[in-house]
Chains A and B, each alone.
Chain A
Amino acid sequence: MIKLNPKLSQKFSYMFLCLAAFLATTPVILIVFIIIKNGTSVISWEFLLSMPKDGMRGGGILPAILGTLSIVSCAIMITLPVGVCAAIYLNEYAKDDIFTRIIKLAIINLAGIPSVVYGLFGLGIFVMFLKLGVSIIAGALTLSIMELPVIITTARSSLDSVPYSFREASLSLGVSRWQTIRHVVLPNAIPGILTGTILSIARISGETAPILFTAAAFYVPHLPHSIFDQVMTLPYHLYIISTQIPNMPKNIIYGTALVLLMMVLTMSCIAIFARIYFRKRRKW
């Protein structure tokens, strides 16, 4: 064993930790940089707002953008109420018994399932068993199940962040439990739930595997009419044009990636600003 003097070892560990932090950020910076550099040339209103042409080698990506937006918004509309209600039950009502523990364990495990398994599960249950077909609603349901544990966890930590004393003060006035939750706990937990939800939206916008078998189409010549339509989606479209189409212009691939990336980053930024805003406004 070589013995370093304290000063030198301090210096070494500082450099080592610093290097690790730097390594962690380089991929992000590189990805964003390369995609922006190669993709910006194709970004135009026409690219964003028109249908694909020439076997997707030209034209725009409007159907894919709309497809992703519709699946994601449907998924959030399903997962948010269910997740928040489940979180309220677990946090405010459930006794700490075996039943509750099983639910909590199930939620933790739900978060650990690989996304492609969700995709196959959605194919089995929603597409085939419930006969929803490959459609927006089948994809949204699959995504909503996948996102449920995340929503429940963020909602629970938001509920936890409301001091217990507020509940006590309200209950001591003869106000019922539900009214206490509805008028004191929830209004103060909503900022946290909201930022968590925006981050969830960002996360599921980029998911490919769960919608691969349940919602996504190779090419649809028209825009979606109803939630029972198959749609093109940005992540799947990106996969197709990068691997399945010969002589695909590289800049369109990068442009599509850039649109997807910007969608996700914008959501994250909104979440960050919302958090700063609510933290400033917080009254306790």
Chain B
Amino acid sequence: MVDKIKIESLSCYYDKKCVLESLNLNIVKNEILGVIGPASSGKTTFLRTLNRMNDFDITYSRKGNVYLDGDNIFDIDAENLRRRVGMLFAMPIPLPMSIYDNITYAPKRLGLVTKKVDLDNMVESVLRDSSLWDEVKDRLAASAMKMSGGQQQRLCIARVLAINPEVILFDEPCLSLDPISISKVEELMVELKKKYTIVLVTNNVKQASRISDRTAFFLMGKLIEVDKTDKIFVSPKEKKTEDYITGRFG
């Protein structure tokens, strides 16, 4: 087991208010780490710190270090970091352009792929990887805004795959989806962990139990417990974890 990400005593603040307190956590390569916890437990802050999307919030500040393959992520260029650590949002956010352009947008801007043939091949391969190809192959030029919610979310996954990241962060990716779309996205995540390391923040405890290899339980900005998913859900060490996953609060 190789650690992909190593988090050392990370604390995060909004306007001096502490939302995440001295967190120590390792994320193993090619695993799905589920992060569960009630609202305002610091899950999303944690996730958005990993690719520094929080940097745009002027009230945000932090202490501690996060290492990605040994590089301190706060020392490397933020844009470069985000290319290595892709992110999916709770609501699918396709850009207002065609399906094809949504996927080629970032690779073009970043100069990863330039030739038309390579772009075409890349679009096909990421759409296949996100199991969307058969549904959209005949309408790649159609607006992405006209797709269904589930398709949009899978397009967003394809878009992230197109920049070929090492880690993918999922911020409650199934919040707005119907059950069938959810199962498709979940299957996809299990498939994707072969190539990528995945962090999945979810409000849906069952989802974490279904697909994550390890699960971390956050409460009020503190990591209460992290362990193999089977252990967390069968015999958690902490009383609070047990209360939360059995639905006694939260």
Contacts and interface: CB of A to CB of B under 8 A. Distances in A.
Interface of A: 95-96, 165-166, 168-176, 179, 183-184, 188, 282-284
A198 B248 CA distance: 61
Given A169-B95, A170-B95, A173-B106, A95 B53 contact: no
Q: What does DSSP make chain B's interface, helix, strand, loop or mixed?
A: helix
Contacts of B234: none
A78 B130 CA distance: 48
Nearest to A184: B95
Given A173-B159, A173-B163, A175-B109, A284 B89 contact: no
26 contacts: A165-B93, A166-B93, A168-B53, A168-B93, A169-B93, A169-B94, A169-B95, A170-B95, A171-B53, A172-B53, A172-B82, A172-B87, A172-B89, A173-B105, A173-B109, A173-B163, A174-B81, A174-B110, A174-B163, A175-B105, A175-B106, A175-B110, A176-B109, A183-B105, A184-B95, A284-B96
A171 B89 CA distance: 12
A184 B102 CA distance: 11
Nearest to A163: B93
Contacts of B83: 173-174
Interface in B71-121: 79-84, 86-87, 89, 91, 93-97, 105-106, 109-110
Contact of B58 (A95, A169, A170): A95
B160 interface: yes
Contacts of A172: 51, 53, 82, 86-87, 89
B96 A166 contact: yes
B203 interface: no
B110 A169 contact: no
A179 B108 CA distance: 11
Give the interface size class of chain B. 20 to 34
A171 B93 contact: no
B182 interface: no
A171 to B, nearest CB: 7
A166 B95 contact: yes
A197 to B, nearest CB: 22
Nearest to A167: B56
A22 B88 CA distance: 53
A278 B79 CA distance: 33
A174 B82 contact: yes
Given A172-B87, A173-B110, 5 more contacts: A165-B93, A170-B105, A171-B82, A174-B79, A188-B96
B61 interface: no
Contact of B96 (A95, A175, A179, A283): A283
Given A183-B105, A284-B145, A171 B56 contact: yes
Contacts of B160: 173
A95 B58 CA distance: 8
Nearest to A165: B93
Given A174-B163, A284-B96, A168 B79 contact: no
